[in-house]
Amino acid sequence: MITQLYCNSLTKFSRYKTRVVTIGDVPLGGDNPIRIQSMTTTDTMDTIATVEQSIRMIDAGCEYVRITAPSIKEAKNLENIKKELRARGYTTPLIADIHFTPNAAELAARIVEKVRVNPGNYADKKKFESIDYTDNAYEIELERIRERFTPLVKICKEYGTAMRIGTNHGSLSDRILSRYGDTPLGMVESALEFLRICEDNNYYNIVLSMKASNTQVMVQAYRLLIQKMQQYGMSYPLHLGVTEAGEGEDGRIKSAVGIGTLLEDGIGDTVRVSLTEDPEFEIPVAKALVERYSNRASHKAIPEVQSSKFKVQENTGQLSTFQLPTFELPYSPYDYKRRETLEVINMGGHNVPRVIADFSGKQVITPASFFAVGYNYSVPLDKWNLTDQACDYIFVGDNKIDFQIPGTLGLIYNSAFWQNLENTTRCYPLFSDNEFFTTVKKSTELNFVSVDIDFLIQYFNSSTFQPFDNTVVFVFETSNEHGMAEQRRMFIELMNNNCKVPVIIKRNYSNLSEEKFQLHSSTDIGALFLDGFGDGIWINACQFEPFDFAQDKLNREQNNCTSPKNANATSFGILQATRNRISKTEYISCPSCGRTLFDLQETTAKIRNRTDHLKGVKIGIMGCIVNGPGEMADADYGYVGTGVGKITLYKGREVVERNIGSEKAVDALVDLIKKYGDWVEKE
Shortest Cβ 633–ligand SF4 spacing (Å): 11
| 252 or 520: CB nearest ligand SF4 | 252
| 224 or 669: CB nearest ligand SF4 | 669
Report how far apart, in Å, the C-alpha atoms of 379 and of each of 195, 286, 386, 415, 491 are: 66, 45, 14, 32, 44
Shortest Cβ 665–ligand SF4 spacing (Å): 16
Shortest Cβ 640–ligand SF4 spacing (Å): 8
Q: What residue type is 459 in one-letter code?
A: Y
For 33, list phi and psi in degrees, rounded to 5. -60, 155
For 215, list phi and psi in degrees, rounded to 5. -65, -30
Question: 184-200 and 215-231 are packed helices; what angle lies between their axes, rounded to 10 degrees?
Answer: 40
Shortest Cβ 247–ligand SF4 spacing (Å): 13
**Helix and strand numbers, DSSP H then E, in the chain:** 19, 25
Shortest Cβ 195–ligand SF4 spacing (Å): 23
Q: What residue type is 486 in one-letter code?
A: E
| 517 or 639: CB nearest ligand SF4 | 639
Whether the CB-CB separation of 669 and 650 falls below 8 Å is answered with no
| 483 or 623: CB nearest ligand SF4 | 623
- The DSSP string of 134-159 is -HHHHHHHHHHHHHHHHHHHHHHHHH
| 502 or 591: CB nearest ligand SF4 | 591
Shortest Cβ 76–ligand SF4 spacing (Å): 19
β partners of residue 189: none
Shortest Cβ 621–ligand SF4 spacing (Å): 9
Which DSSP letter does residue 352 get?
P
| 429 or 623: CB nearest ligand SF4 | 623
Query: At 117, which helix (H) or strand (E)?
Result: strand 114-117
| 250 or 486: CB nearest ligand SF4 | 250
Q: How far apart are CA 353 and CA 339, in angstroms?
A: 12
Shortest Cβ 244–ligand SF4 spacing (Å): 8
Shortest Cβ 604–ligand SF4 spacing (Å): 11
Contacts of 190 (CB under 8 A, 6+ apart): 119, 120, 167, 172, 173, 176
Q: Which residue is nearest to ligand SF4 (CB)?
A: 623
For the beta carbon of residue 674, count every other beta carbon within 10 angstroms.
11
Residue ranges in contact with ligand SF4 by CB under 6 A: 590-593, 595-596, 622-624, 626-628, 631
Shortest Cβ 598–ligand SF4 spacing (Å): 9
| 381 or 644: CB nearest ligand SF4 | 644
For 238, list phi and psi in degrees, rounded to 5. -115, 130
Question: 514-530 and 282-290 are packed helices; what angle lies between their axes, rounded to 10 degrees?
Answer: 60
Shortest Cβ 596–ligand SF4 spacing (Å): 4
Whether the CB-CB separation of 514 and 332 falls below 8 Å is answered with no
Cα-Cα-Cα-Cα torsion 201, 175, 164, 203, nearest 10 degrees, comes to -10
Shortest Cβ 590–ligand SF4 spacing (Å): 3
Cα-Cα-Cα-Cα torsion 550, 553, 555, 560, nearest 10 degrees, comes to 160
HEC assignment per residue over 551-614: HHHHHHHCCECECHHHHHHHHHHHHHHCCCCCCCCEEEECCCCCCCCCCHHHHHHHHHHHHCCC
Contacts of 378 (CB under 8 A, 6+ apart): 384, 385
Q: How far apart are CA 55 and CA 66, in angstroms?
A: 12
| 410 or 594: CB nearest ligand SF4 | 594
Q: What residue type is 223 in one-letter code?
A: R
| 526 or 638: CB nearest ligand SF4 | 638
Shortest Cβ 622–ligand SF4 spacing (Å): 4
| 542 or 622: CB nearest ligand SF4 | 622
Contacts of 179 (CB under 8 A, 6+ apart): 133, 138, 186, 189
| 116 or 581: CB nearest ligand SF4 | 116
| 170 or 502: CB nearest ligand SF4 | 170
